[in-house]
Structure 1
Amino acid sequence: MEIKKVWFVTGASKGLGLALVKRLLNQGYKVAATSRNAQVLQNEVGFAGDLFLPLQVDLNDNNAVGEAVKHIVSKFGTIDIVVNNAGYGQLGTLEELSDEEARENFDVNVFGTLNVIRNVMPLFREKNAGAFFNISSIAGFMGTFPGWGIYNATKFAVAGLTEALSAETSSMGISATIVYPGYFKTNFLLQGSMRTAAHPIAAYKEARDLEIMHNEQIIGNQPGDPEKAAAAFIRVAEMDARPLHLFLGSDSFGMANGKIEMLQNDLKAFESVSKSTDY
């Protein structure tokens, strides 16, 4: 009889996290999931039974994350797969956003993820097994979105630390995967998951135009299906060899190829300058 893995999913009360948790429970997996409000999470998931452990956790509090990990292990015996999904979008150009707005986005999107990794790693090391899926964004691979600079930076940071994590744990039987979703038909672009600059500056035409495009054209027309994303997560998690980079959605896949082409063009065009600095 196949033993079902234990999943730990952060930021699970909406979006891709919620779709994933529901599918996992329907398929008989044990799932611990976090949200800022455990009751809201319980209501959204709508599952009553021993397979589900909803947790109210402030991911910015390292001690609280540590307690949550202990709680999960005491209930389910272990953790096999971690999905660091908690995060929010912060809109605003680099000049517009205050230091506080920028740091808060890093606190949730980057340091919350670090706290989870730090507290789960002793368990993964002990059993020489485990998988991390850290949710970046296509904006964590291609950053040319005006007005998304701080959010991009948090998601580039998630990608960077995950690359290092995969190298640090390669001899331990532990995998780390960066997930770069494109646009999925979730509530990510709606209030609560997306914040705008407190003090916008009218001169930033490109940023305002992109905001209008998101509000008027992209919301409701996102090409990605959250249910299919959840199925893809489970499929990849059950593989013996998991990728370091996982692009989700044809839009994400296309933009990634565009960025790679742009890099190759710059490498070729400026090759002589690049190599001119050697001794």
Structure 2
Amino acid sequence: MDDQCKVWFITGTSTGFGKILVSLVLSRGDRVVATVRNLEDFTLTDVDRSRLHVMILDVTESEDEVKVKAQEAIGVWGHVDFVVNNAGVTLPCVLEEGGSKAALAQFQTNVFGVMNVTNAFLPHMRDRRSGTIIQMGSRSVWKADTRLLGMYAASKAAVHAYTETLAAELVEFGIRVLLVVPGLFRTATRTADFAYERLPAYDSLRDGDEAMLRQAWRHITGDPRKAMELVVDVVRGEGKAEGKDFPLWLILGRATHAHLRAHCDTLRRSMDTWVDVARDLDFDEAGDA
């Protein structure tokens, strides 16, 4: 195999960012192991199939089952260079209505699935002292006051924190970690089916916000293909990323930049308001230590 030809493992490739990413990676001359929950969901036809392997993987499978699938993926071309944890799901609900059951359903894919896939490939990458883990975060972490999307935002906040620690733990093994944080790109969003109690007190809020969320998609201007082009550039160190340091955070889109800046400004104002008392909480010199 040409040393310049890399192997990507990408989850959730039936739609959205994952589907686009497969096409772009193949167009750069790399190889892809693409995963879907059902083979009939993979609809890309105008690609070089000789550099593409499609396999079934539901990231909510057990940890042992995911490890078996990872070994199968590694065996296709003998190694995997880049793992993209793209598979994700959105579970809109009012927090009180969804409760912990909804949280478990949301986290099963967006958090535990990410952890299991990552862990399944880490021994391979540690042995090679090479590799890149790419995690898909969300700007919703910094816009968590969006009603009905609290469970989703919480799951992505967990991914953000997990990824930062992961990067610190893997640096000595030569493994890179990239957290991609997109916001408001026009992609199809997979919504989980989850039955939960609907409390009459929330009927007006829920019904109105559900309608607004459905309409909001029409006004999204982010081009997902441009976003994924940049991701490939960054991972390969080409194009717009050439000559730039490899980042931990890749902030994608106007909305993400705007909401992150607003979040930082709000946090800074709160810190400045309370700094005089919040920092004055050490033991008194004469008191017990």
TM-score by length of 2: 0.88
Distance in structure 2 (CA, Å) of the matches to 1:246 and 1:111: 22
1:132 paired with 2:133, answer yes
Would the aligned equivalents of 1:110 and 1:157 in 2 still touch at CA under 8 Å?
Answer: yes
Would the aligned equivalents of 2:184 and 2:221 in 1 still touch at CA under 8 Å?
Answer: yes
Distance in structure 2 (CA, Å) of the matches to 1:234 and 1:276: 47
Distance in structure 2 (CA, Å) of the matches to 1:260 and 1:176: 23
Would the aligned equivalents of 1:90 and 1:197 in 2 still touch at CA under 8 Å?
Answer: no
Larger helix percent: 2
Would the aligned equivalents of 2:26 and 2:48 in 1 still touch at CA under 8 Å?
Answer: no
Would the aligned equivalents of 1:92 and 1:196 in 2 still touch at CA under 8 Å?
Answer: no
Deviations 1:87-129 (A, max 9, x none): 1111112101043322111111100000011111001111111
When structure 1 is superposed on structure 2, of 195-204 and 94-103 the one drifting more is: 195-204
- The percentage of counterpart residues that share the same residue type is 29
TM-score by length of 1: 0.91
Deviations 1:9-61 (A, max 9, x none): 111110111111111112221001111112321x2455452211111112122
Deviations 1:249-278 (A, max 9, x none): 111111111111111111101112211212
Deviations 1:144-178 (A, max 9, x none): 21221111110000001000000001111111121
Letter in 1 for 2:57: V
Would the aligned equivalents of 2:8 and 2:33 in 1 still touch at CA under 8 Å?
Answer: yes
Distance in structure 1 (CA, Å) of the matches to 2:34 and 2:209: 33
Distance in structure 2 (CA, Å) of the matches to 1:272 and 1:45: 62
Matching residue of 1:250: 254
Would the aligned equivalents of 2:102 and 2:151 in 1 still touch at CA under 8 Å?
Answer: no
Q: How far 1:194 sits from its partner (Å)?
A: 5.5
Q: Please say which structure displays the higher CA radius of gyration.
A: 2
SS of 2:120's equivalent in the other structure is helix
1:237 paired with 2:235, answer yes
Matching residue of 1:213: 212
Matching residue of 1:102: 103
Matching residue of 1:56: 56
Structure 1 gaps, min length 5: none
1:228 paired with 2:232, answer no
Distance in structure 2 (CA, Å) of the matches to 1:278 and 1:220: 52
Deviations 1:179-202 (A, max 9, x none): 1110111111xxx43657633335
Relative to structure 1, the CA distance from residue 103 to residue 162 in structure 2 (aligned partners, 3 Å threshold; closer, same or farther) is same
Would the aligned equivalents of 1:92 and 1:197 in 2 still touch at CA under 8 Å?
Answer: no
| Aligned positions of 1:141-152 closer than 5 A | 141-152=142-153
Relative to structure 1, the CA distance from residue 211 to residue 68 in structure 2 (aligned partners, 3 Å threshold; closer, same or farther) is same
Runs of 4+ deviating beyond 6 Å = none
Distance in structure 2 (CA, Å) of the matches to 1:195 and 1:142: 24
Matching residue of 1:111: 112
RMSD: 1.9
Q: How far 1:215 sits from its partner (Å)?
A: 1.4
Would the aligned equivalents of 2:12 and 2:87 in 1 still touch at CA under 8 Å?
Answer: yes
SS of 2:49's equivalent in the other structure is coil
Distance in structure 2 (CA, Å) of the matches to 1:251 and 1:209: 22
Letter in 2 for 1:114: M
Letter in 2 for 1:254: A
Matching residue of 1:16: 17
Structure 2 gaps, min length 5: 238-243, 284-289
Matching residue of 2:27: 26
Distance in structure 2 (CA, Å) of the matches to 1:163 and 1:100: 27
When structure 1 is superposed on structure 2, of 202-211 and 260-269 the one drifting more is: 202-211
Letter in 1 for 2:52: F
Matching residue of 1:84: 85
